[in-house]
Amino acid sequence: MTHDTWIILGASSTLARDFARSVAQDGAALILCGRRIDDLEATAADAAARGAAQAQVMAFDARDPDGFQPILDAAARAPGTLNCAVFVGSMPAQDAIDADPALVDGTIADNFTGPARFLTLLAPMLEAREGGAIVGVSSVAGDRGRLGNYVYGGAKAGFTAYLSGLRNRLGRKGVHVLTVKPGPVDTPMTFGLGKQPFMSTPGAVTADIRKALRKKRNVLYTRAIWRPVMMVIRAIPEPIFKKMSI
């Protein structure tokens, strides 16, 4: 019997853990990738208990592309439909980045260039199998650079544009590429940021992602209210926007 296999990058993320639980319940095989192996082992045990066909743990650091090959080798051996979900990301405070510009490089590697390098290496495998899905978790922050987090926003904007092009390429071979743009979600990433508008939960984000996968959607805003909100924010003329602090 063959199953879906999900490679999950950044599998220690709160959103990833919830997503892994959900696909495990459907009997998928999981390749859980990240830096904190102990945390991934706990998620793997939980996934196995929930019905995952298999749950293995592999080291992944977005800043170290030389370490990607073992994951690609495991992907090549995986039976059934191959899928990949990218949850990797980091969001240092903008004032911390302003004080230490070296943080720019790591922020872009975590949110954009590391995941893009991995997906570019994986893409030929999905093309050859003529199926599967890629879920790329970007952010509404990538829709317009703003005062409070423009390095993170810039990295997510790059990742969003990359995913759009990847969809253009892989769609021709029957591979579904879903760009996910969450607004604020109650996870460690938003801890200490104070009250956020239209806050969501990991469970709601997972449900939205799974529905968007079933419906073969291209771009998912979660919560849905963020689509019109960002449409308005993108439409604000630059001479006005540059004086705003939203």
The token pair that represents 128 in the structure block: 């050859």
CB-nearer residue toward ligand NAP: 24 or 86: 86
Q: Select the residue interacting with ligand NAP from 7, 8, 10, 170 (CB under 6 A).
A: 10
Q: State the nearest-atom distance from the C-beta of 160 to ligand NAP, in Å.
A: 11
For residue 84, state whether it binds ligand NAP (rule: CB under 6 A): no
For residue 155, state whether it binds ligand NAP (rule: CB under 6 A): no
CB-nearer residue toward ligand NAP: 3 or 60: 60
Binding residues for ligand NAP, total number by CB under 6 A: 27
The CA distance from 227 to 63, in Å, is 31
For residue 68, state whether it binds ligand NAP (rule: CB under 6 A): no
Interaction pattern, residues 182-211, with ligand NAP; x per rule: CB under 6 A: x-xx-xxxx---------------------
Residues 6+ apart with CB under 8 A from 184: 190, 193, 196, 197, 198, 199, 200
CB-nearer residue toward ligand NAP: 3 or 32: 32
The answer to whether 244 and 144 have CB atoms below 8 angstroms apart is no
For residue 127, state whether it binds ligand NAP (rule: CB under 6 A): no
- Among 43, 45, 71, CA closest to 58: 71
For residue 154, state whether it binds ligand NAP (rule: CB under 6 A): no
Instruction: Pick out residues in 33-52 that bind ligand NAP (CB under 6 A).
Output: 34-36
Residues 6+ apart with CB under 8 A from 205: 15, 18, 19, 180, 182, 185, 222
The CA distance from 91 to 155, in Å, is 10
For residue 65, state whether it binds ligand NAP (rule: CB under 6 A): no
The CA distance from 89 to 34, in Å, is 11
Interaction pattern, residues 95-124, with ligand NAP; x per rule: CB under 6 A: ---------------x--------------
Q: Select the residue interacting with ligand NAP from 25, 63, 124, 242 (CB under 6 A).
A: 63
Q: What are phi and psi of 167, to 5 degrees?
A: -60, -40
Q: State the nearest-atom distance from the C-beta of 198 to ligand NAP, in Å.
A: 11
* Per-position DSSP letters for 1-47, written without gaps between them: ----EEEEETTTSHHHHHHHHHHHHTT-EEEEEES-HHHHHHHHHHH
The CA distance from 181 to 192, in Å, is 21
Q: State the nearest-atom distance from the C-beta of 8 to ligand NAP, in Å.
A: 10
Encoded amino acid at 85, one letter: A
For residue 14, state whether it binds ligand NAP (rule: CB under 6 A): yes
Binding residues vs ligand NAP (CB under 6 A): 10, 12-15, 34-36, 60-63, 87-91, 110, 137, 139, 182, 184-185, 187-190
